[in-house]
Structure 1
Amino acid sequence: MMAFCLLFLCGGFIIVFSGSPFYSVFGVLIVALGHASVLAYLGFPFFSLLITIIYAGGMLVVFLFSTILSADRFPVFSAKYFGLVLLGGWFLALPLLFSAFSFSASNTFVASPLKRVLSSLYGDWAIGLYLVGVALLMALVGVLALGFEGGEKSLRRL
């Protein structure tokens, strides 16, 4: 539960310290996933999925159109705190990596609470949802590639 709450803080720091909306949308996505993780942990997987699909998806669509219409051609990330953010991310991810798999004394695999939460959230649809997510990410990258002014097929020229 503490790791999920720390996602809120990491996402907030990314939003505050990034000077460009290109990088602050990553912080918004981390905060949305933190909220969804807490709800799934507390036993509300349906609301967790709703937050993930509606909130994060809606924010990414709004960000996509604001990116296309933005005049900021080359985004800048404040590298002043990058080392601190990287070190903090490592310390936050380390307990999650160790808790993802646990073994009993007889060396048999035991599902960790994180695996149980993810399996209760997605169930048998985990691979399908992953493939849909990858397809949507590819579509997002394609639309962003069309959005640049340098190409002959630009969304700004439509």
Structure 2
Amino acid sequence: MSRPTISRPILVLNGPNLNLLGKREPHIYGHETLADVEADCRRTGETLGLAVDFRQSNAEHVLIDWIHEARETVDGLVINPAGLTHTSVSLMDALSACAFPILEVHISNIHRREEFRHFSYVSRVAAGVICGFGTQGYTLALQRMARLLETAEK
């Protein structure tokens, strides 16, 4: 299989506590580490013609700064906002200022968990949400992103 020659820049952002992936509540989040997820995303991105910039922060303001920066540098954004999903109007506002597609990812099925996790500010500005597929949700999001970008070119 030949690889795509176009390399579209995509930012993959991860919110608070995802640096503990593989160690924190593996019965909910699985045993893969964030480094494993990053490696999967880079491999998937390469096959899809996407240049993946993969980042994680526990600080809301850092995520917002990266989103502001991305407005000028990327073609799409995949975000797992973690706990900020349910609390951050500021994150939603930063994302709403972006002209590119945004896909929201959650490792667990947030709708089967505590009531407060059922609401997402990020979903209000995301083109789509993937949840409950474990860390595979990231690669599914990249596949969808590639399709969205391809369709936008036509």
Same fold (TM over 0.5): no
Larger proportion of helix = 1
Superposition TM-score, scaled by structure 1 size:
0.32
- Larger C-alpha radius of gyration, 1 or 2? 1
Superposition TM-score, scaled by structure 2 size:
0.33
Larger proportion of strand = 2
